[in-house]
Amino acid sequence: MPIFEDHLPALLARHRDRSIAFTTDLASGVTRCEAIFIAVGTPQGDTGAADLSYVEAVVSEIARAISGYKVIVEKSTVPVYTNEWIRRVLHRHGVDPASFDVVSNPEFLREGTAIIDFLHPDRIVVGAANERSADVLRRIYEPLTGGAYYNQPGALPGPCSVEHPAKLLVTSAQSAEIIKHASNAFLALKISFINAVANLAETVDADIEDIAIGMGLDSRIGPRFLRAGLGYGGSCFPKDVAAFHWVAQQRGVNFQLLQEVRKINETQKDIFFNKVLSALWTLRGKRLAALGLAFKGDTDDIRESPAIDLIKRLLEAGATVTAYDPAAMERSKAVLPPSDKLHYASDLYAAAKDADAVLILTDWKEFATIDLVRLNQAVRFPIVIDGRNLYKPQDMFENGFTYVSVGRTASYQAQQGKPRSAVL
Interaction site with ligand NAD (CB under 6 A): 39-42, 54, 57-58, 76-77, 107, 109, 111, 235-236
What are the catalytic residues? Answer: 236
Radius of gyration of the chain (CA): 24
Instruction: Give whichever of 242 and 348 is closer to ligand NAD, judged by the CB atom.
Output: 242
Taking alpha carbons only, the member of 358, 226, 379, 241 closest to residue 292 is 358
CB-wise, 178 or 208, nearer to ligand NAD? Answer: 178
Under 8 Å between Cβ of 180 and 106: yes
Specify burial of residue 98 (Cβ count, 10 A radius: 0-12, 13-18, 19+). exposed
Using the minimum distance from each CB to ligand NAD, give the nearer residue, 121 or 382: 121
Q: Is 15 left (phi over 0), alpha (psi -120 to 50) or beta?
A: alpha
Instruction: Give whichever of 106 and 407 is closer to ligand NAD, judged by the CB atom.
Output: 106
Cβ 68 to ligand NAD, closest distance in Å?
21
Handedness of CA 416, 211, 120, 182 (dihedral sign): negative
Asked whether 301 and 111 are in contact (CB, 8 A), the reply is yes
Least separation in angstroms between CB 75 and ligand NAD: 6
Nearer CB in complex with ligand NAD: 38/315: 38
SS3 track for 43-88 = CECCCCCECCHHHHHHHHHHHHHCCCCEEEEECCCCCCCHHHHHHH
Contact between 322 and 328 (Cβ < 8 Å): no
Quote the least distance from Cβ 109 to ligand NAD, whole Å: 5
Closest approach, Cβ 105 to ligand NAD, in A, equals 11
Helix (H) or strand (E) holding 143: helix 131-145
**Which amino acid does the sequence have at 59?**
V
Q: How far is the CB of 211 from ligand NAD (least distance, A)?
A: 28
Scored b (16 or more CB within 10 A) or e, 191-210 reads bbbbbbbbbebbeeebbbbe
In angstroms, what is the minimal distance from the CB of 66 to ligand NAD?
15
Q: At what angle do helices 173-203 and 237-250 cross, to 10 degrees?
A: 120
Q: Indicate the angle between helix axes 256-280 and 173-203, nearest 10 degrees.
A: 40
Q: Please give the torsion angle defined by the CA atoms of residues 271, 273, 275 and 278, in that order, rounded to the nearest 10 degrees.
A: -120
